Amino acid sequence: MYTTELQNQAGKPKAQVASTEDPALLEAFEARVAADEFIEPKDWMPEAYRRTLVRQISQHAHSEIVGMLPEGNWISRAPTLRRKAVLLAKVQDEGGHGLYLYAAAETLGTSRDEMVEALHSGKAKYSTIFNYPTLTWADIGAIGWLVDGAAIMNQVPLQRTSYGPYARAMVRVCKEESFHQRQGYEIMMAMASGTPEQKRMAQDALNRWWWPSLMMFGPPDENSPNTAQSMRWRIKRDTNDELRQKFVDVTVPQAEAIGLTVPDPDLKWNEAKGGHDFGEIDWEEFYAVVRGEGPVAKERMKARIDAWNDGAWVREAALAHAAKRNARAAA
Amino acid sequence: MSDPKKEWPLWEVFVRAKNGLSHKHVGSVHAADDRMAIEAARDTYTRRMEGVSLWVVPSAAIVASDPAEAGPLFEPAEDKVYRHPTFYVVPDNVKHI
């Protein structure tokens, strides 16, 4: 891709990244990645590549798991049986996506328990979006449409990310994710064409979720220190700002089609660049949420930690049962 | 808090999409025993009619070739094009061969 190539030419000196590593191995690795080859678990890779992947994949996995909470909040209150069945299936998918991703990260030599512990201790981050509360049923529509829409925008290029297990997990995730976005849009569509109160709820949900969704793409390129290296290693395939722009351009007409208004007075079509101009994002808010100051950050972590602690006896009992069965079989 | 000995073992999951096709690797799951591994694999990898049969294998039981040996193992096949039918020239008017 054009931008990736630009980054390559302007790339930092290679030695700076991993000066302690065998230059011949490093060079061979760089060449393989530059030729769009996939790297597999047992292949040699620079330590920084491994670290970056563990961070990114585990963070991605944590986001899927924590992401089950805001939607799980509405399963018992879904307005119809159909909506309930759909939401259950979606939340179950998110759990599955978390598991594909944890498994991919484990191929890099980290353990599941280490990752879970990093999440619970606050060392590992997850997507800031899940630290916002789901106040009304319309929020479930907005999450599917906007949050899953933004996630798809991020994940589609990751199907060609250079690490094989991560790329394969992304192929499965993307295949399953498009129903998530459509069911959300369908909820918004139904509400936007319902009673005036329902339409107000839909608009209110869009108002609250729009900016946090744009923040999901991460800090602007000039403040994204990891982007250049990640692009050179083909871990990332597009920059944060490129993906954000793409998301705005596809989503604005979707809002218009159902009579909702994107809450941005500066939003307007820019013929010259063939895309929308949009207003300034409140990055102070973003960094505050990253630091764990989101409206429901504490509640989210408490729910995860409680689930883990409350499940401890089940994990132990299952192991004891397996040990007993093995002992019997051996006798 | 975490004790590596207490983590459930890892299993590799293989799914047969339909009878007539072989099982294909799709990913892995953690489970305390074989029965639970099948159930976890079913929930994790076959939510959309992906298959009709599952295999789970303890990951520790898999023996893999070393990527560093990929050259000696697989490169010798590269210059043996005569193992493929397209290597041989047959006149145009000769059929069914």
Name the minimum distance, in Å, from the CA of B44 to any CA of chain A.
Answer: 5
Mean of pLDDT values over A159-181: 95
Q: What is the pLDDT of residues A210-219, one digit of tens each?
A: 999 999 999 9
Q: Say if the Cβ atoms of A42 and B66 lie within 8 Å.
A: yes
Q: Say if the Cβ atoms of B7 and A112 lie within 8 Å.
A: yes
Is B44 in CB contact (< 8 Å) with chain A?
yes
Say which amino acid occupies B27: G
**Chain mean pLDDT for chain A:** 92
**Cβ contacts of residue A171 below 8 Å, gap of 6+?**
A159
CATH number at residue B50: 3.10.20.520
The residues with which B53 forms a beta bridge, in sequence order, are: B16
Tokens 């395939």 belong to A237
The residues with which B12 forms a beta bridge, in sequence order, are: B28, B57
pTM of the model: 0.90
Domain count of chain B?
1
Is B5 in CB contact (< 8 Å) with chain A?
no
Q: Say if the Cβ atoms of B7 and A93 lie within 8 Å.
A: no
Q: Strands (DSSP E) along A157-312, which ranges? A: 268-270, 275-277
**In this structure, what token pair is assigned to residue A300?**
């989210």
Q: Which residue of chain A comes nearest to B6, CA vs CA?
A: A316
Model ipTM value: 0.86
What is the reported pLDDT for A226? 78
Nearest to A113 among B7, B27, B29 (CB): B7
Residue A149 pLDDT exceeds 70: yes
Is A111 in CB contact (< 8 Å) with chain B?
yes
Phi, psi of B56 (to 5 degrees): -125, 135
Within a domain: B95: no
Length of chain A: 331
Residue B45: CA atoms inside 13 Å, Cβ hemisphere, count? Answer: 31
User: Residue B3's pLDDT band (boundaries 50, 70, 90)?
Assistant: low
Phi, psi of B57 (to 5 degrees): -130, 130
User: Residue A203's pLDDT band (boundaries 50, 70, 90)?
Assistant: very high
Mean of pLDDT values over A23-48: 95
What is the reported pLDDT for B5? 64
Q: What is the pLDDT of residues A262-278, one digit of tens each?
A: 999 999 999 999 999 99
Q: What is the pLDDT of residues B41-71, one digit of tens each?
A: 999 999 999 999 999 999 999 999 998 899 9
User: Residue B4's pLDDT band (boundaries 50, 70, 90)?
Assistant: low
Residue A17 pLDDT exceeds 70: no
Within a domain: B43: yes
Nearest to A113 among B2, B28, B44 (CB): B2
Mean of pLDDT values over B6-20: 96
Q: Say if the Cβ atoms of B32 and A325 lie within 8 Å.
A: no
Within a domain: B36: yes
Nearest to A318 among B32, B43, B66 (CB): B32
User: Residue A293's pLDDT band (boundaries 50, 70, 90)?
Assistant: confident
Within a domain: B94: no
Within a domain: B74: yes
Residues of A in contact with B32 (CB under 8 A): 315, 318-319, 321-322
Q: Which residue of chain A comes nearest to B9, CA vs CA?
A: A319
Q: Say if the Cβ atoms of B30 and A96 lie within 8 Å.
A: no
Within a domain: B80: yes
Phi, psi of B30 (to 5 degrees): -100, 135
Residues of A in contact with B27 (CB under 8 A): 100, 103, 168-169, 172
Is A96 in CB contact (< 8 Å) with chain B?
yes
Q: Which domain holds residue B23?
A: 4-87
Residue with the larger pLDDT of the pair A292 and A262: A262
**In this structure, what token pair is assigned to residue B36?**
């639970």
Is A103 in CB contact (< 8 Å) with chain B?
yes
Percentages (nearest 5) of helix, strand, coil residues in chain A: 70, 0, 25
Report how far residue A32's alpha carbon sits from residue A12's, in angstroms, rounded to the nearest whole number: 18
Residue A18 pLDDT exceeds 60: no
Report how far residue A176's alpha carbon sits from residue A173's, in angstroms, rounded to the nearest whole number: 5
What is the reported pLDDT for A1? 19
Phi, psi of A157 (to 5 degrees): -65, -25
Instruction: Report DSSP state, residue A124.
Output: S
